Amino acid sequence: MALPPAQQTSENEPKPARSLGPLRMIFREAAKYPVQYSVAMVALLVTATVTSLALPSALRLIIDRGFGGDGDVGRWFRYLLVLVGILGLGTAVRFYFISWLGERVVADVRTRVYDNLLRLSPSFFEENSPKEISSRMVADTAIIEQVVGTTLSVALRNAIMAIFGIGYLFWLAPQLAMWLVMGLPLVMIPLVIFGRRLKGISRDSQDRVADVGGITTEVLSAMKIVQGFNQEIRESGRFQAAVERTFATAKVRIMIRAVMTALLITLIFGGLVLLLWRGAVLVTTGEISGGTIGAFIFAGVIVAGSAGALTEVMGDLLRGAGAASRLGELMAEQPCITAPARPQALPEPPRGSLAFAGVTFSYPTRPEDRAIEDFTLTIEPGETVAIVGPSGAGKSTVFQLAERFYDPQSGTIKLDGVPLTQADPAAIRRRMALVPQEGILFAASARDNLRYGAWDASEEAIWEAARAANAETFLRSLPDGLDTFLGEGGARLSGGQRQRVAIARALLRDAPILLLDEATSALDAESERLVQDALERLMANRTTLVIAHRLATVRAADRIVVMEGGRIVEIGDHAGLSADGGLYARLATLQFETTADAPAAR
Ligand SMILES: Nc1ncnc2c1ncn2[C@@H]1O[C@H](COP(=O)(O)OP(=O)(O)OP(=O)(O)O)[C@@H](O)[C@H]1O
């Protein structure tokens, strides 16, 4: 399935989701660590309760009892100090465990996404570029980290504080609380609107400043051209215009800020004054105490602050939900090639026969083009079959189908008599060794590259394979022997050496069927001879299907299969096919003779 296209907004930020639903995934992941999760939640609850309920209550007691009642002010202040202690400790515990959960969830999600990616069939990576997927793994998980570690905690804390706070306010003085709750949106809505506008303008402002920087760098680094062409006055004008644009944007920004500040002060303090006024009237009529008013204002400020914080983090939460849903998709993606519920076992010992019968196949991304059409070919155990054909004839596709990276639309492929679709793909691939055109190596040690398909190979076996692949001499001369790091993609080796490492790897794998895609890149005669020699040893006693580019290979093959447009057009041996004067004869003249096949000349 194709994932939605790269979800990037103009600011190059991952796109937010429409609802917070996908964040459930984060809670599910975090709940796998019940101890940390519970401690974090308890700490969250305790700190929120202390801030929104206990502190204002303490204040009320200090005013009503301490000042007005029993005169034992100290007692209430001691109580307040204990609360402060609990708040400090609770906050630290909350911070530690919530951040811990954030990092843990991200580590788990990364691993799970990666493990799932490793299961997926190649068609998934054709529809979704690896670059896009890896950027998701990095960017989206970073957002989740931020969301779990910070945003979600802020949101939960403030939601709890707002709810508790409002409850407390209603308990303290229901009348005043009604006023507050009705007045709150009147204060918040204009502030949120102005806040958004300010954010947009600030971004414009930064862009304009960047323009000024851009002009400066450009002109200063081309000073000789500017002066040589007498463009100082024009450049000064251009610069001034850019500076003026910066100023103009800044003017709008400061204007909005000024209005916003005026609004902020008037609305918030005006509202407070009105509340106090109303409260004072209630105090004079004896309906509520002075301490209640104090506690009310304190808790009211906390509720307002929480509501403000919630509106601020909402955007981040939605972005987090977007990231969670995209990562969820990557985790849930199912491979299209799977083992049947009861896979049929391949016969033991392996025989190494491979049979294609009436196989027709189109790649999922190009369903209208047939890459392989009515392909029928039986390769007997121990036989070497060379496939030749012009570019795009479908040669590599035959390999892809043999390894069951795709299933054909019609026809069957059997390995040792078992249809590939009935067997476990892992068991099929265990019986094959692929030597790709360019020996693909990993940024790892020579040893790990050699034993890539056979991790438990002994030191002796590794050297034996290296010897057979004509790789021993250069491997021995590496600075740290087999432990030498080969660099990104094996960049520290030559092309011919990389090919020989790939051959040794296939030897170690010791699979009954060899899929060999001969390199087209020309090597020097000596290197060529070493590679060819290694290949011959690799092919001995194995069923070999080889995409051939060298005359030596086609000559040595038991049969040559000539492909064109996905079909087999000729089958035979070199002498017969050359004499027939068909496609093979033309290809042979073009390809094999002109490349002056060095090994053939031996
Ligand atoms: N992953 C893919 N998705 C879509 N189409 C593909 C894919 N791989 C190959 N094709 C198409 O399938 C056809 C057969 O390609 P294939 O790679 O098998 O040819 P080839 O004979 O190996 O060519 P070459 O010698 O150039 O490697 C071509 O038309 C090619 O464009």
CATH code, domain carrying 407: 3.40.50.300
Any ligand 1 atom below 6 A from CB of 396: yes
- Looking at ligand 1, which atom is closest to the CA of residue 563? 21
If asked whether residues 502 and 574 sit together in one domain, one would say no
Q: How many residues does the chain have?
A: 602
At 125, which CATH number? 1.20.1560.10
Residue 408 lies in a domain: yes
How far does Cα 363 stand from its chain's mean position? 25
Do 105 and 223 have their domain in common?
Answer: no
* 230 C-beta closer than 6 A to ligand 1: no
Run of H or E including 449 = helix 446-450
Looking from the CA of residue 122, the nearest atom of ligand 1 is 1
Q: Which atom of ligand 1 is nearest to the CA of 566?
A: 14
| Whether 31 and 142 share a structural domain | yes
Question: Is position 531 within any domain?
Answer: no
Q: Average pLDDT of each block of 10 consecutive residues along the chain (602 residues)?
A: 44 64 86 93 88 80 72 77 90 91 90 91 83 83 85 87 88 85 80 80 83 89 90 94 93 88 83 84 85 85 83 82 87 87 88 92 89 92 91 91 92 92 90 83 86 86 86 86 81 82 87 84 70 77 87 85 91 85 82 49 32
236 within domain boundaries: yes
Pocket of ligand 1 contains residue 123 by CB under 6 Å: no
566 CA distance to ligand 1 middle (Å): 9
Q: 547 and 418 in one domain?
A: yes
DSSP assignment of 502-532 equals HHHHHHHHT-SEEEEE---S---HHHHHHHH
Strands of the sheet containing 410-415, edge to edge, are 372-379, 354-361, 410-415, 418-419
- Residue whose CA lies nearest to ligand 1 atom number 9: 397
Instruction: Looking at the structure, tell me whether residues 126 and 36 fall in a common domain.
Output: yes
Integer distance in angstroms from the first to the last C-alpha of the chain? 51
What number does the ligand 1 atom closest to the CA of 398 have? 18
Torsion of CA 493, 499, 503, 506, to 10 degrees: 90
Tell me, yes or no, whether 345 lies in a domain. no
Cβ of 397 closer than 6 Å to ligand 1, yes or no, is yes
Look at residue 335 in the predicted model and tell me its pLDDT.
87
How remote is the CA of residue 391 from the centroid of ligand 1, in Å? 8
Q: What residue's CA is closest to ligand 1, atom 30? A: 392
Q: Is 6 a domain residue?
A: no
Cis peptide before 425 (omega within 30 of 0): no
User: Residue 437 CA: which ligand 1 atom is closest?
Assistant: 27
Query: Does the C-beta of 199 come closer than 6 Å to ligand 1?
Result: no
For 516, the token pair is 């060999």
Query: Ligand 1 centroid to 370 CA: how many Å?
Result: 10
59 and 153 part of one domain: yes
* β-strand pairing of 418-419 with 432-435: unpaired
Q: Has residue 248 been placed in a domain?
A: yes
CB of 290 within 6 A of ligand 1: the answer is no
Question: What does the alpha-carbon distance between residue 140 and residue 7 come to, in Å, rounded to a whole number?
Answer: 11
Structural domain includes residue 302: no
Q: Quick one: tokens of 473?
A: 């001499």
Q: Whose CA is nearest to atom 16 of ligand 1?
A: 394
Containing domain of residue 129, as a range? 18-173+314-335
Residue 564 lies in a domain: yes
127 lines ligand 1 (CB under 6 A): no
Whether 403 and 501 map to the same domain: the answer is no
**Which residue, of 510, 534, 555, is where some domain finishes?**
510
Contact 571, 560 (CB under 8 A): yes
**pLDDT number for residue 598:** 40
Angstrom distance (rounded) from CA 372 to CA 397: 7
Whether 392 lines ligand 1, by a CB cut-off of 6 Å, is: yes
What stretch of H or E contains 260?
A: helix 232-264
Atom 17 of ligand 1, residue of closest alpha carbon: 396
Residue 55 and residue 289: Cα distance in Å, rounded?
17
Determine which helix (DSSP H) or strand (DSSP E) holds 123, and give its type and residue range.
Answer: helix 122-127
Q: Are residues 189 and 119 in the same domain?
A: no
Beta carbon of 400 within 6 Å of any ligand 1 atom:
no
pLDDT score of 108: 92
CA angle 60, 65, 70 (to 5 degrees): 170
Among 106, 95, 96, 97, which residue's Cα sits nearest to residue 144?
106
* Residue 389 beta carbon below 6 angstroms from any ligand 1 atom: yes
Q: 397 C-alpha to center of ligand 1: Å? A: 6
Q: Does the beta carbon of 371 lie inside 6 Å of ligand 1?
A: yes
Amino acid identity of residue 116, one-letter, is N
Kindly state whether residues 179 and 166 are assigned to the same domain: no
Query: In terms of Cα–Cα distance, which of 298, 307, 277, 316 is closest to 187?
Result: 307
> Which residue in 509, 507, 524 sits closest to 467, CA to CA?
507
Q: Ligand 1, closest atom to CA 389?
A: 21
Q: If you write DSSP's letter for every residue of 31-83 in order, what string do you get?
A: TTSHHHHHHHHHHHHHHHHIIIIIHHHHHHHIIIIIITSS--HHHHHHHHHHH
For residues 441 and 486, the answer to whether their CB atoms sit within 8 Å is yes
426 and 549 assigned to the same domain: yes
Give yes or no: residues 190 and 269 share one domain.
yes
Q: Which of 127, 369, 396, 583 gets mutated to test ligand 1 (max ligand atoms within 8 A of its CB)?
A: 396
Task: Look at the chain and report how many structural domains it folds into.
Answer: 4
Report the separation in Å between the CA atom of 372 and the middle of ligand 1, taken as the mean of its atom positions: 9
Distance of CA 116 to the CA centre of its chain: 12
CA–centroid distance, 124 to ligand 1, in Å, is 16
Dist. CA 573–CA 171, nearest whole Å: 96
Domain co-membership, 283 together with 224? yes
